[in-house]
Amino acid sequence: MLPNRYDFREAEPRLARFWELNNVYGYDPAGLGQHFTIDTPPLTVSGQLHIGHCYSYTQADVIARYRRMRGDHVYYPMGFDDNGLATERFVEKTIKHKATEIGRDAFINACLELTQQTEGRFETLWRRLSLSVDWRYRYSSISHEARRVSQWSFIQLHRQGLTYTQVAPTPWCPECQTAIAQAEVNDASLPTRFSTIAFRLPGGGILPIATTRPELLPACVAIFVHPNDPRYRHLIGKTARIDSGAFSGSPELAVPILADELADPSRGSGAVMCCTFGDSTDVRWWHTHHLPLRAAIGRDGHMTGLAGSYAGLSVQQARRRILTYLEETGQIISEETIEHDVGTHERCGTPIEYLHTRQWFIRVLDQKERLLEAGRKIRWHPEHMSIRYEHWVENLQWDWCISRQRYFGVPFPAWICRACGETMPASLEQLPVDPQTTQPLVACACGSTEFEPEPDVMDTWATSSCTPMIIGHWIDDPAWFAQHFPASLRPQAHDIIRTWAFYTIVKSLYHTNDIPWREVMISGHGLSADRRKLSKSKEHNEVGPMEIMEKESADALRYWATTGRTGADSPLNLENIATGRRLVTKLWNATRFAE
């Protein structure tokens, strides 16, 4: 006889123990019949889990359970993405020190310790939520195996000529002090002062230039006008000047007036400064017109020596001081406040700069057709999410920048030859390798045996884009790989289509000439009750998943998660959760009745 009342507080932990002891969700690789492989998102280790995570992970779990009930052998591993910027920022916040303050080794140790603890907490929560994962296949992206796969992948791409280094203007976060990829830049609309500055023309006359970034004046290398703009056509080839005593090394700044179709006659005065570098148009002009490089902003977001007496000031301080100077010297014509689109770093919200630095790239721009074709071979749920992928590929502007000037990540498995400057990749049998503490096994082609380690680490996506290969035991077990690749299903959220889905398709195509998974299920976000997006890293007073499960049961929380549609965001709904709890009681009572 079943007890009168269903007590989830007693039943759920008891059943979780039963599942664990009896290996109920254990995957049998030798099982006859159909196998179903889930490329589970490795959770970024960067703070607290919130109900949004429970929302999307439950949806994937429902598919796993459904396939199991249909008789499939379900390979459902779980991963943790525990290196990269998100993790580093979480650790910096927790230990209240920046990586640069405590040094590379101490910082890496702090990261390892904190991520271990946090992953333990995450697993406890997932078990409490009853995800039917086979925990024997838990992995982490900083593990020995994952580093090996990631570095192996890099070396293969390097051999195929699909990677290159380049000293070039690259999106840069001055807060995190690293290069970032196009996919990590968000568009934000911020209120900004729009100042019109008076440049002097030869023989008298004024050329008005409107700008939101006067602090870039020390980096100004040209003024552009549209070649057909009747107001300025006669000025092309002449020089414009401005008094710059305070903000550059010389009393005046003189720049050429040049013509380019990209200058928009309807914006501001129609004449625009080109600085190295304010935005991606500046980068293009700098390339196409072979302009000089004047780097006025350093890696830490402070002004360089080019800014004269303002050297060392932050961008914001320099902006105020330069505007004051221009006002006092009568060089400002007008000012207004406008909403201005600014690229910001998705991890920290800091406006990005374009800095001229040496970075590693993986080619993607010349592979757009192939990438689009691969996207069409995958079944997307909901179907319209494939359009996001297509738009992203079609609008790519940069190759994939994979180097990060950070600490806690997978190092580049390479050295630089001191004699000839060529890259010397590690031998495959050395992997995983830390070039800071190891040397190449062979001499450089030039004969030299003197090497500098590659100083950078790889973008964390360069590793997490290999998850189908990590769970597929790509390097060491060809039979397992043949059985599990392409994976059956990739569940993931819509905001990382441009990163995780895209990069995984890139790696899969380059390494196997195949798609990484047959189907992708895109989840929406579980939002707060007032429809705000929840965040692991920001403080929030939201009720946490453990609290909800203690009060309403794991089943009830899961019930809410399964009432959302794929791809659609869904606010936390406590009533809906209570309905879920009552439904379980009804099922219990019905079972008792039938007993």
- The contact set with Zn ion (CB under 5 A) reads 173, 175-176, 345, 347-348, 350, 417, 419-420, 422, 444, 446, 448
Distance CA 44, CA 52 (A): 13
Nearer to Zn ion, 177 or 196 (CB): 177
Nearer to Zn ion, 387 or 441 (CB): 441
Nearer to Zn ion, 42 or 440 (CB): 440
- Long-range (24+ apart) CB contacts under 8 A made by 299-307 are 299/172, 299/174, 299/177, 299/355, 299/357, 299/405, 300/174, 300/177, 301/174, 301/175, 301/350, 301/353, 303/215, 303/218, 305/249, 306/218, 306/219, 306/248, 306/249, 307/215, 307/218, 307/247, 307/248
Q: How far apart are the first and last CA of the chain?
A: 7
Q: How far is the CB of 177 from Zn ion (least distance, A)?
A: 8
Distance CA 420, CA 455 (A): 17
Judge contact between 518 and 489, C-beta under 8 A.
yes
Judge contact between 374 and 509, C-beta under 8 A.
yes
Judge contact between 404 and 458, C-beta under 8 A.
yes
Q: How far is the CB of 440 from Zn ion (least distance, A)?
A: 10
Q: How far is the CB of 178 from Zn ion (least distance, A)?
A: 8
Q: How far is the CB of 524 from Zn ion (least distance, A)?
A: 26
**Helix (H) or strand (E) segment spanning residue 172:** strand 163-173
Q: How far is the CB of 533 from Zn ion (least distance, A)?
A: 18
- CB neighbours (10 Å) of residue 549? 24
Judge contact between 567 and 524, C-beta under 8 A.
yes
Residue 266 makes CB contacts below 8 A (sequence gap 6+) with none
Q: Which of 48, 119, 54 is nearest to 540 (CA)?
A: 48
Nearer to Zn ion, 133 or 444 (CB): 444
Q: How far is the CB of 176 from Zn ion (least distance, A)?
A: 3
Question: Which class for 322: exposed (0-12), middle (13-18), buried (19 or more C-beta within 10 A)?
Answer: buried
Distance CA 173, CA 180 (A): 7
Distance CA 527, CA 336 (A): 37
Q: How far is the CB of 185 from Zn ion (least distance, A)?
A: 10
Q: How far is the CB of 218 from Zn ion (least distance, A)?
A: 24
Nearer to Zn ion, 258 or 417 (CB): 417
- For the chain, give the number of residues: 595
Q: How far is the CB of 452 from Zn ion (least distance, A)?
A: 11
What is the edge-to-edge ordering of all strands in the sheet holding 43-44?
Answer: 43-44, 78-81, 138-140
Residue 405 makes CB contacts below 8 A (sequence gap 6+) with 177, 178, 179, 299, 357, 455, 456
Nearer to Zn ion, 374 or 416 (CB): 416
Judge contact between 561 and 59, C-beta under 8 A.
yes
Q: How far is the CB of 450 from Zn ion (least distance, A)?
A: 8
Distance CA 129, CA 421 (A): 53
Q: How far is the CB of 455 from Zn ion (least distance, A)?
A: 18
Q: How far is the CB of 405 from Zn ion (least distance, A)?
A: 12
Which phi and psi angles does 528 have, rounded to 5°?
-70, 170
- Region of 102 on the Ramachandran plot (φ > 0 left; ψ -120 to 50 alpha; else beta): alpha
**Helix (H) or strand (E) segment spanning residue 321:** helix 315-328
Q: How far is the CB of 94 from Zn ion (least distance, A)?
A: 17
Q: How far is the CB of 173 from Zn ion (least distance, A)?
A: 3
DSSP string, 369-395: HHHHHHHHHSEEESTTHHHHHHHHHHT
Nearer to Zn ion, 98 or 138 (CB): 98
Rounded to the nearest 10°, the torsion over CA 48, 465, 132, 63 is 110
Nearer to Zn ion, 188 or 446 (CB): 446
Nearer to Zn ion, 24 or 419 (CB): 419
Nearer to Zn ion, 178 or 570 (CB): 178
Nearer to Zn ion, 62 or 348 (CB): 348
Nearer to Zn ion, 417 or 466 (CB): 417
Nearer to Zn ion, 106 or 348 (CB): 348
- β-sheet bridge partners, residue 199: 207
Distance CA 38, CA 487 (A): 6
DSSP string, 77-142: -EEEE--SHHHHHHHHHHHTS-HHHH-HHHHHHHHHHHHHHHHHHHHHHHHHTT----GGGEEETT
Nearer to Zn ion, 174 or 486 (CB): 174
